[in-house]
Amino acid sequence: MNRHVTHYALAALALLAWCTTTAVAQHDHKHDHNHDHKHHDHDHGHHDHEHGKHDHAHGGMPEMTPEMQKEMMARIKHATPGQHHKHLRFFEGKWDYVAKMYGEGDMPPMEITGTVDAKLDMGGRFLVSRWHGPNPFGPEDFHGMEVLGYDNAKQRFVSTWIDNMSTTTSQASGTCDDSGKVFTHTGKMFDAAKGTHTPTRTVIKVINDNKYSFKMYEKRAGADEKLQMDFTVTRVAGG
């Protein structure tokens, strides 16, 4: 795991534990105070004993400073899913796809079919999509997985793609229109034959409640942008 991610996760857990302990201490303080006040006239010495016990329990937990409160609220805001995350709900479910893969020059496209199983994870923050279909370039079936989310800090959709035809991860990021039905992402795809990364542009369009299109274009050095993949994805009945 990335060292910075680990550090942030541990810091977040520590903050959560500290806030929980502080809340419990404050609750105990309120309970002890009410209990002592009720019996103050009856047993003043008992009140002093309970109050001293409270000071011992609460003394190690300082109140949150305004700066601490500001930092905590910033972390909560960053972690909270918003409207852009709601746009991902459309893609949940089971889908079938028909795709055209375009090769070099004027070669006719290769048509393939397959399935997609997509689920929201991490409290609706990320969409995990698993793609499966025949592999026209080898004996094993094709398996791919994308993790797509919206980064509140970057204010962009971000995705990571992996599959069983490569050991390289591919990243992309982008935006969607106000309707949440047209997504445009840019990234780079590794070309193992040339040992270089090719810029890509992906456009996803929601056609209706049960269908969307997925087109990926590439821009090779010294050439115009060209359509490489064209998917039509249809929701499975009941999926």
Query: Per residue in 62-107, pLDDT tens?
Result: 688 999 999 999 999 999 999 999 999 999 999 999 999 998 778 8
Mean pLDDT of 191-214: 95
Which CA distances in Å does 221 have to 71, 169, 200?
45, 21, 12
157 — pLDDT class (breaks 50, 70, 90): very high
142/166 Cα distance (integer angstroms):
11
Instruction: Please report the pLDDT score of residue 223 as a whole number.
Output: 87
Least confident window among 42-51, 54-63, 210-219: 42-51
Least confident window among 45-54, 105-114, 178-187: 45-54
Residue 76: exposure state from Cβ atoms within 10 A (0-12, 13-18, ≥19): exposed
**Strand-pair category, 110-121 with 126-133:** antiparallel
Closest of 129, 149, 171 to residue 88, by C-alpha: 149
Instruction: Please report the pLDDT score of residue 106 as a whole number.
Output: 80
**Domains, in order of start, for the chain:** 3-79 (no CATH), 84-235 (2.40.128.20)
Mean pLDDT of 107-117: 94
